[in-house]
Structure 1
Amino acid sequence: MDVVSIGETMVALINEPRGYIRHAESFKPHIAGAESNTLIGLSRLGHQVSWISALGSDELGELILRAVRAEGVDTSQVRRTEYRTGIFFKEILPNSNVSVTYYREGSAASRMTGADLDFEQIRKAKVLYLTGITLAISDSARKMLFEIVDRLKDEHVRVVFDPNIRLKLWSAEEARSTILRFLPYVDDLIIGKAEAALLLGHHDPVRAIEDFKNIGCKNVVIKLGKEGAAYFVNGESGRVSNPQIFEEIDPVGAGDAFSSGYVSGILNGKPPEQSVKEACFLGGYITQFTGDYEGFPSRKQLSVLLKTINSDETVER
């Protein structure tokens, strides 16, 4: 197995027409979860991936399971329980502003513990991809992740971590203290510039990379939005610009697309600069699509897209 990830996936209800929910005529369900989004992106890029989670024994859980499985993600480690599947509402407002309202308290995934996991399946993976969302959703899920990474210290599994800080799930102070305790277990940190500032108290990406290395992260990638990304990976440091600037329709999922591009580069043995540049491209490209993962390209499509950057040629022939 190339990549294993642990985390909650929910049903996102997006109102139609777009705008304020108060004017909604209907809601369309979409599948949304940072970990499953990233796995779907990696699956479309040709990697073997497995998702570990818990869903309710309800129709929403069935909707998620079928959708994720249909994308080539191994779901054999997803448990079905008597607890409900989480949902949230997503408003897409003018200028691509997005507002979300969660209903995930007490969900099946938030009740996961270390006893629910098959550690042997995790230790067989090349990469374990985790996010700070799982640290935030419950005390039991947080304890579970700390137990896993502690057990992996002597294993050859590369831990890739995106803090994915959601302040609707926990306070800035709790996020900071928890994530800083978690980072010494992380091999590759993928973090946004605002998140880095929240954790470190400053906005200098070069200094932030050094700070995170001193904490214990072996590799660090800082997402700089439209300015690209700065990185220190496999002993190489640098900064890349976004290969192309896209007009955003729905920015949610951009970070997950970035992660899928970066992890794919790791697995394919690409040079750090190329991996980060492709991650930047994917992070921008997916914002043209409504939904968290619907716009992920296949490996073949990505190759064509990268060749047509800054070109008038837009048709695959």
Structure 2
Amino acid sequence: MSSSSTFQRTSFVRRALLSMLGLLALTVLVMTALVIRHDHPLDIPSDQSRWDALALPDAQPPAGLSFTTFLTAQSAGAPEGLIVAGGSWFTPRRPVQFAVLIRHPKGNLLFDTGLGLRHAEHFAENTWWHQQLFAYTMYTPVKTQLTQQGMADLPLRWIVPSHMHWDHIGGLQDFPATPVWTPLRERQTAAQGRPPAFLATQFQGVQHWLNLEFTHPPVLGFDQSHDVYGDGSVTLLPLPGHTAGQVGMLLTLPSGQRYLFTADTTWTLEGIQRPADRSWLLRQVLRLDHSEPQNQQAIVHLHQIARRFPALKVVPAHDERVYETLPRFPQFAD
């Protein structure tokens, strides 16, 4: 082969590589411009009179009421900019999957279960792509943690899933005799759902379903609520949007400290504080919400509550930074 032919081929390869790099750079610039354009705080109503008039509901939490949490798993991680609009693309975040146990004289309640004993079997229902996308580090299921502390027979009156996505109900089958309390619409949507959001094997073995209905007076701007024990200590709130029947929970301790568990309305506290949805880019890749407009309304609603009551501890379901401030089993807070 002549030196001229070699030179021509080398030049062609170089031009091709430069063209590919140029195309890649252009793609990155276009995507960056789109993210910047779309990843902005959600609109807040200019009239704040409705929110300024909000009051925290009366509550008489009984002596003996306490709560703890169980860390069951943690995401492999992603840039914060992907998890919340406006977040840093250079800050790694590792969302957590945890459960909340409330001990009450009238019966114990488990809010979410995190991942359970059969997590590997359930997760295998996903495609290879989704298994990589939702990769996690498994820690210890709730059932195992209870057993390790000699509390395997702890009576549970109810399990209340915040919603029925796979990372919130993975432990349902570990407590087969415990009634599961959820809005009928949420259960129906889950039964018709598909991976990766809904994994049917997680809830097919539930023996007792209870329909959660919001028939009690308005609380914190929500039109209806459900006072679990009748003393205001645990109030369930309708938070549809992320799923058809997602549920939030307001917890009041004997100490007076209050917690608002906001499920997956946002994955981070920053999403409520700004307020902001998950990244526009991620929302193009995955269908994250049952109703995106409804979920964004819920984000703004929670933002207004957090602004009105700064002492209220707001707890998104996956924020690892907030989780570090919560009691962790076997320690309880009262």
TM-score (norm 1): 0.31
TM-score (norm 2): 0.30
Mark the structure with the bigger radius of gyration.
2
Larger relative strand fraction: 1
- Of structures 1 and 2, the one scoring higher in RCO (CA 8 A, sep 6+) is 2
Larger relative helix fraction: 1
